[in-house]
Amino acid sequence: MTLLLTILTCPIIKMINLTNEDWTLIDKQMMFYASDRCTQVYYQSPCLVKFTKTDIQTYQAICGSKR
């Protein structure tokens, strides 16, 4: 239910890949995990707005406000 509300109220996630590797299933799972953590940890900024793959299984996540 949280994911559905996030999709409906948050802007589209900007996904950036700084590696030469393609996105993997693990990368996608980590993006969804980061999105869930934004809603759990940052009440004022519950939306994952930017997700960057900086190396193999290394990421940066930026949480932001709703639309």
Q: Are 15 and 62 in contact (CB under 8 A)?
A: no
pLDDT in tens, the chain (67 residues): 555 555 678 899 999 999 999 999 999 999 999 999 999 999 899 999 999 999 999 999 999 998 7
Q: Using the Cα atoms of residue 34, residue 38, residue 15 and residue 59 in order, give the sign of their dihedral.
A: negative
Q: What is the pLDDT of residue 7?
A: 60
Q: What is the pLDDT of residue 54?
A: 97
Token representation of residue 23: 């996105």
Q: What is the pLDDT of residue 66?
A: 83
C-alpha span between 16 and 24 (Å, rounded): 13
Q: What is the pLDDT of residue 67?
A: 73
Neighbours of 38 (CB within 10 A): 21
